[in-house]
């Protein structure tokens, strides 16, 4: 281990905030200087984790004793842990952080395997006809605790049979580059297989450091398995959706299964495409990591980095998309107005994501063409986005509403129809209010729900162009 301050790996890096800014403005895939983008993704991953943890807490708070709520909350906690995959690169830590990284990775693989099992087990709550046996109360009521215990046993057995954590999941490495003339300082967890490491020979990049995780066969399987299991889960939820849609009184279950189908399908599509690129790059370059960028041929280096960072972005995007869709499915009937809040969150999140990715792409295109390409890209993309934010946001929001439609029961629809009739002239008389109160009582709608329905109706009559 290096005998340095554990909080800081690099000599002469200066204050941390200017260091971050310096690395961000120097992002250049042509030279391999991508550490600034690593920092951006790391901080976004922490934000995504906090959002998923918050959604999981909401689900538990809504119905803490319901097995489906406990199940979904644990799934989102596991997803939240998984999206924070590169937290150890949020700061230029020294190699003394390697043991912490090693144990974090055990948790990451635990959550990956747990998510695999939980994806497939959603059929217990929304079973297709051929899997009705999974809806047995003894199964569905105990999945939320049994699957984590079962997963933990498998992970412990894997570590025991491999002889060590490194043997089970691969090595852990710390790369430090202080000066172009010094060469790389490579530190590894004991037992880690030897790897080649090198520094990017570009004076502007120094100093820099990062952690590099290795990968065992089991680790590679757990990288590929979740997207594949999401595909299978999407097919299950599609069958369940159509089944419930054809049965009377099962509208809520049909809408919930539809939301889960969209969540799984989105994850499988986006993540699956990026995983395929990772498979190709692994076959092309061997271990797919950032240990030795200097060895990659110049023309292939940008492709290598696009695939790697595209995969890292896909983890965040699919995690957030999946979390919102799953929360929408579980909470829309428990928390008044949560569906609208989730729709707005997804719309604004998509808007910000599109803007950020556009800035990064334009910055890469402008790099080397004009000075301060990063600043120029912010102006080239940011100004049109600001000017056109309303039509762009409204377009995104229209798509989100298709994915997350307003779902009302037959009783709620009956009340909305009656309310629409009395409000046709824009005036609500005393007698009309009495009739509405009577109908709400007959339909079993409480005052909070009535107010929500009336507010929704009023907002639906507002032109979408008025959205801010």
Q: What are the pLDDT digits (tens) for 60-76?
A: 998 889 999 999 999 99
Q: Tokens standing for 284?
A: 């092309």
Instruction: Give the right CATH number for 16-331 from 3.40.50.620, 1.10.1040.50, 3.30.70.260, 1.20.1070.10.
Output: 1.20.1070.10
- pLDDT tens digit sequence for 417-426: 888 888 877 7
What secondary structure letter does DSSP report for 30? T
> So what's the pLDDT on residue 60?
93
Question: In angstroms, rounded to a whole number, what is the distance separating the alpha carbons of residues 392 and 366?
Answer: 24
Task: Read off the pLDDT of each residue in 397-403 and give the average, rounded to a whole number.
Answer: 80
Taking the whole predicted model, whether its pTM rises above 0.75 is answered as yes
Rounded to whole angstroms, how far apart are CA atoms 99 and 411?
58
With beta carbons less than 8 A apart as the criterion, state whether 6 and 97 touch: yes
- Tell me the per-residue pLDDT of 184-194, one tens digit each, with 9 for 90 and over: 888 999 999 88
What pLDDT, on a 0 to 100 scale, did the predictor assign at position 59? Answer: 93
Residue 331 C-alpha from the chain's centroid? 19
What is the pLDDT, as a whole number, of residue 56?
A: 94
Question: What is the average pLDDT across 106-132?
Answer: 92
Domain range annotation of the chain: 16-331, 336-407, 410-466
Environment class of 102 (CB within 10 Å of its CB; exposed 0-12, middle 13-18, buried 19+): buried
Q: How confident is the model at residue 106 (pLDDT cuts 50, 70, 90)?
A: very high
8 vs 457, residue with greater confidence: 457
Please give the structure tokens belonging to residue 381: 């993309």
Give phi and psi for 258, each to the nearest 5.
-60, -45
Q: Phi and psi (nearest 5°) for 208?
A: -155, 160
Coil, helix or strand at residue 211: strand
By C-alpha distance, which of 146, 72, 144, 83 is closest to 311?
Answer: 83
Residue for token pair 């894997």: 158
Tell me: pLDDT of 282 over 70: no
- pLDDT, tens only, 428-454: 888 888 888 888 888 888 887 788 778
pLDDT for 323: 92
Q: What is the pLDDT of residues 223-253, one digit of tens each?
A: 778 788 999 999 999 999 999 888 877 877 8
**Is 134:123 a contact under the CB 8 Å cutoff?**
yes
Strands 208-213 and 172-177, sheet pairing: antiparallel
List the beta bridge partners of residue 174: 187, 211
- Inform me whether the pLDDT recorded for 143 exceeds 90: yes
Query: Whole-angstrom Cα distance, residue 200 to residue 20?
Result: 18
Residue 390: what pLDDT? 81
Strand runs labelled E in 66-138: none
**What count of other Cβ atoms lies within 10 Å of the Cβ of residue 463?**
7
Cβ 233 vs Cβ 131: under 8 Å: no
Q: Give me the pLDDT at residue 122, please.
A: 94
Whether residue 463 is predicted with pLDDT greater than 60 in this model: the reply is: no
Residue-wise pLDDT tens digits, 383-394: 777 777 788 878
Q: Which two tokens stand for residue 372?
A: 């301060």
pLDDT tens digits along 196-230: 787 777 666 778 888 888 888 887 788 778 788 99
Q: What percent of the chain has pLDDT over 70?
A: 83
**Backbone phi and psi for residue 143, each to the nearest 5 degrees, phi listed first:** -60, -35
Q: Which tens digit of pLDDT belongs to each residue from 3-35? A: 344 455 676 677 888 888 888 877 777 777 788
Q: Give the chain's mean pLDDT.
A: 81
Give yes or no for residue 111 having a pLDDT over 90.
yes
Helix (H) or strand (E) holding 409: none
Nearest to 326 by CA among 119, 127, 136, 143: 119
CB-side neighbour CA atoms (13 Å) of 117: 20
Give the whole-angstrom CA distance, residue 408 versus residue 453: 9
Q: Which range scores top for mean pLDDT: 106-120, 177-191, 324-338, 402-416? A: 106-120
Q: How high is the pLDDT of residue 465?
A: 39
Give yes or no for residue 1 having a pLDDT over 50. Answer: no
Q: Is residue 163 pLDDT above 60, yes or no?
A: yes
Higher pLDDT, 43 or 15: 43
d(C-alpha 216, C-alpha 221), whole Å: 9
pLDDT for 4? 44
Between these two residues, 377 and 212, which has the higher pLDDT value? 212
Token pair 């909401």 in the structure block, residue: 58
Least confident window among 292-301, 343-352, 381-390, 459-468: 459-468
Q: What pLDDT shows up at residue 8?
A: 55
User: 114 is written with which tokens?
Assistant: 């747990």
CA neighbor of 351 nearest in space, from 391, 316, 379: 391
| 163 touches 190 (CB < 8 A) | no
Residues 325 and 349: beta-carbon distance below 8 Å:
no
């Amino acid at each position: 281990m290096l005998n340095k301050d554990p909080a800081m790996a690099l000599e002469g890096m200066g204050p941390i905030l200017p260091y971050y800014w310096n690395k961000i403005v120097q992002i250049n895939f042509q030279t391999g200087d991508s550490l600034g983008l690593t920092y951006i993704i790391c901080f976004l991953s922490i934000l995504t984790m906090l959002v998923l943890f918050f959604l999981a807490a909401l689900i538990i708070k809504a119905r803490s004793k319901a097995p489906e709520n406990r199940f979904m909350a644990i799934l989102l906690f596991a997803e939240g842990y998984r999206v924070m995959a590169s937290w150890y690169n949020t700061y230029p830590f020294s190699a003394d952080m390697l043991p912490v990284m090693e144990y974090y990775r055990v948790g990451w693989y635990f959550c990956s395997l747990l998510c695999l099992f939980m994806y497939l087990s959603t059929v217990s709550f929304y079973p297709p006809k051929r899997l009705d046996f999974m809806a047995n109360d003894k199964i569905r009521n105990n999945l939320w605790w049994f699957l984590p215990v079962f997963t933990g046993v498998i992970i412990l057995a894997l570590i025991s049979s491999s002889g060590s954590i490194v043997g089970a999941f691969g090595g852990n490495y710390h790369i430090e580059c202080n000066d172009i003339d010094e060469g790389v300082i490579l530190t590894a967890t004991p037992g880690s297989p030897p790897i080649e490491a090198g520094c990017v020979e570009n004076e502007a990049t120094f100093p820099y450091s990062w952690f590099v995780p290795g990968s065992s066969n089991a680790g590679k399987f757990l990288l590929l398995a979740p997207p594949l299991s999401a595909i299978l889960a999407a097919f299950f939820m599609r069958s369940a959706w159509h089944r419930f849609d054809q049965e009377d009184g099962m509208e809520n279950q049909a809408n919930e299964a539809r939301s889960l189908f969209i969540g799984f399908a989105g994850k499988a599509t986006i993540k699956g495409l990026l995983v395929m690129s990772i498979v190709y790059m692994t076959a092309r370059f061997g271990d797919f990591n950032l240990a030795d960028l200097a060895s990659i041929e110049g023309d292939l280096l940008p492709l290598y980095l696009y695939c790697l960072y595209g995969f890292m972005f896909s983890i965040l995007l699919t995690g957030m998309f999946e979390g919102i869709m799953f929360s929408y499915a579980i909470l829309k009937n428990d928390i008044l107005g949560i569906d609208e809040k989730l729709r707005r969150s997804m719309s604004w999140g998509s808007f910000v994501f599109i803007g950020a990715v556009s800035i990064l792409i334009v910055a890469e295109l402008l790099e080397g063409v004009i000075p301060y390409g990063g600043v120029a890209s912010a102006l080239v993309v940011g100004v049109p986005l600001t000017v056109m934010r309303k039509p762009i946001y409204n377009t995104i929001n229209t798509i989100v509403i298709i994915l997350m439609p307003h779902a009302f029961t037959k009783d709620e629809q009956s009340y909305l129809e009656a309310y629409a009739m009395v409000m046709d002239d824009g005036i609500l008389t005393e007698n009309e209010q009495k009739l509405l109160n009577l109908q709400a009582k007959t339909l079993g709608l409480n005052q909070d729900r009535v107010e929500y329905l009336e507010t929704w109706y009023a907002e639906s009559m507002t032109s979408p162009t008025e959205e801010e």
